Amino acid sequence: MDRRKIEEKIFLFLMRISAILIVLSLILILFTIIAKGLPSLNLAMITQTPKGGYYLGKEGGILNAIMGSLFLAGGATILSMLISLPVVIYLNIYAKKNSKLSEFIRFSFDVLWGIPSIVYGAFGFTIMLFFNLRASLLAGIIVVALLILPIMSRTIDEVMRMVPAGLIETSYALGATKLETAFKVVIKQTLPGIITAILIALGRGIGDAASVLFTAGFSDYIPNSLLKPAATLPLAIFFQLLTPIPEVQERAYASAFILTAIILIISIVSRIITNRFSKNLIK
């Protein structure tokens, strides 16, 4: 066998090894979280709010953080949807295809996507100082909404770009305005993609910690108003891990398991939706 064949064999072997390593790293992460988190998980953790001295090893659970995260991410997803849907419709229906303007808009959203969440958090903090606001669920929702805005917009945009031009032209030919075409044809056509985008954004919103550190605060209670501070699951994990008490650290592992489970469920649901509902679409 000549040398170039051997070289190819060696590199193919290395490629397979790297692909396996990457899959293995994910499996290892999930395995570690399950193996360490599941044994310390109990019903009280997901049904109770922290009692006094929870962070010293006393009774209670992290229901406050679970609910806080769901409220926060849910609110942020709705808010960000209200901005990103118009953005994407403008890009795909109103703006000229491949114009300088639409290229610039996509470029800007890609750049926005790259900004780290801690910077969003610090920015949110400057805004709060400016308006003299205190850390609250509302402030957290606004900052997380800004954080997931580029993710949601670009994900929906990718789906809407795939809508066949013929379909849109047919709608125009029937006398529909662009707005009517957008809402009655294009959105219907891209609904599975939009739902997937919402779920991806929701997952990001639930998992992000750095942006809410400054803005949402922390509280032992489930927030009952937008102006109250709210605990979030990632921060609860972080704070539990910081304590020197082993039992509380165990709870951090259990909380990480809960967070991972939520993210896994969201990702599986979005995969099912993509697979099941994309069959009925006009290609």
Partner 1 sequence: MKFRFLKDKFFKHLMFMCIVFSISIVFLMLFGLFIRSLPILQQKSFSDIFLSGTWHPLRGEFGFAPFIVGTLWVTVVAMVIAIPLCLLTAIYLSEYAHRRVTVFLKPFIDLLAGIPSVVYGIWGVLAVIPLIRDYIAPLFGVRSTGYGILAGGIVLGIMVFPIIIQICVEVFQSVPKELREASLALGATKWQTIKHSVLRKALPGILAAIVLGFSRAFGETMAVLMVVGNVPKIPKSIFDCAYPLPALIANNYGEMLSVPLYDSALMLASLILLLLVLIFNILARLILIRVERSTQ
Site for partner 1 in 31-90 (CB under 8 A): 32-33, 36, 83-84, 86-87, 89-90
Least distance (Å) from partner 1 to the CB of residue 122?
4
Please state the φ and ψ torsions of residue 40, each to the nearest 5 degrees.
Answer: -95, 5
What gap in Å lies between CA 257 and CA 252, rounded to an integer? 9
What are 245's two structure tokens? Answer: 């008490």
Least distance (Å) from partner 1 to the CB of residue 157?
12
What gap in Å lies between CA 56 and CA 59, rounded to an integer? 9
Position 117 contacts partner 1 (CB under 8 A): yes
Of residues 128 through 157, those in contact with partner 1 by CB under 8 A are 129-130, 146, 149-150, 153
Least distance (Å) from partner 1 to the CB of residue 71?
17
Residue 111: CB atoms within 10 A of its CB come to 10
Q: Which residue has the tokens 């939706």?
A: 273
What gap in Å lies between CA 237 and CA 281, rounded to an integer? 42
**Angle between the N-to-C axes of helices 246-277 and 233-242, in degrees from 0 to 180, rounded to the nearest 10:** 160
Which stretch, 57-65, 165-173, 184-192, 252-260, contacts partner 1 (CB under 8 A)? 252-260
Please state the φ and ψ torsions of residue 41, each to the nearest 5 degrees.
Answer: -80, 135
Q: Which is nearer to partner 1, 51 or 93 (CB)?
A: 93
Q: Which is nearer to partner 1, 118 or 133 (CB)?
A: 118
Least distance (Å) from partner 1 to the CB of residue 159?
15
What letters, b where the CB count within 10 A reaches 16 and e where it falls short, cover 77-102?
bebbbeebbebbbebbbeeeeeeeeb
Least distance (Å) from partner 1 to the CB of residue 283?
19
What gap in Å lies between CA 150 and CA 140, rounded to an integer? 17
Of residues 205 through 224, those in contact with partner 1 by CB under 8 A are 206-210, 213-214
Say how many residues touch partner 1, by CB under 8 A.
84
Of residues 2 through 31, those in contact with partner 1 by CB under 8 A are 4-5, 7-8, 11-12, 14-19, 21-23, 25-26, 28-29
Least distance (Å) from partner 1 to the CB of residue 54?
18
